[in-house]
């Protein structure tokens, strides 16, 4: 059901410093900051030959990333995103297997302009999983 790894998301306490580190120290192609108010984050994508790194920074007072950074002040891996061809079929299959879909269970539009869902980390070995329809 899942396809390729779309991205690994890293919550960061300083978005510009993290982007500069990838740009300067690692020589990576770094995108521009992009506010995602529906998700409470500002993101920057780092383009790699085989996937992407998504830098996450809190946007607004109710950002879910702020709680993560409160527990992990230096930042850290927040989630992994896998591609799926049909997000509704994937959701329904996962629910049938007992996996919990976060939020309302209805896809939201993600940072790439495509439908996304998040799966509870307790159902996936402690890892928050994002699914993105491609």
Phi, psi of 71 (to 5 degrees): -80, -25
For residues 12-38, give the mean pLDDT. Answer: 97
Q: Where are the domains of the chain?
A: 2-133
- In terms of C-beta density within 10 A (0-12 exposed, 13-18 middle, 19 or more buried), how is residue 97 classed? exposed
- Cβ 121 vs Cβ 100: under 8 Å: no
For 91-134, what is each residue's pLDDT tens digit?
999 999 999 999 999 999 999 999 999 999 999 999 999 999 99
Residues facing residue 54 across a β-bridge = 9, 45
Among residues 47, 83, 85, 130, which one is catalytic? 130
For 64-76, what is each residue's pLDDT tens digit?
999 999 999 999 9
For 37-60, what is each residue's pLDDT tens digit?
999 999 999 999 999 999 999 999
Residue 80 scores a pLDDT above 90? yes
Residue 61 scores a pLDDT above 90? no
CATH number for the domain formed by residue range(s) 2-133: 3.10.180.10
Residue 130 in 3-state DSSP? strand
Identify whether 130 is a catalytic site residue: yes
Residue 6, pLDDT score: 97
Residue 58, pLDDT score: 98
For residues 9-16, give the mean pLDDT. Answer: 98
């Amino acid at each position: 059901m899942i396809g390729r790894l779309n991205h690994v998301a890293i919550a960061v306490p300083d978005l510009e410093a993290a982007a500069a580190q990838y740009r300067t120290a690692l020589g990576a192609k770094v995108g521009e900051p992009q506010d995602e108010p529906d998700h409470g984050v500002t993101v920057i994508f780092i383009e790699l030959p085989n996937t992407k790194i998504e830098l996450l920074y809190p946007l607004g007072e109710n950002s879910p990333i702020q709680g993560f950074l409160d527990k992990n002040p230096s930042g850290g891996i927040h989630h992994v995103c896998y591609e799926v061809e049909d997000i509704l079929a994937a959701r329904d299959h996962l629910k049938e297997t007992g996996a919990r879909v976060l939020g309302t269970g209805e896809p939201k539009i993600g940072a790439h302009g495509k439908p996304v869902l998040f799966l509870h980390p307790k159902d996936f070995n402690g890892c928050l999983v994002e699914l993105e329809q491609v």
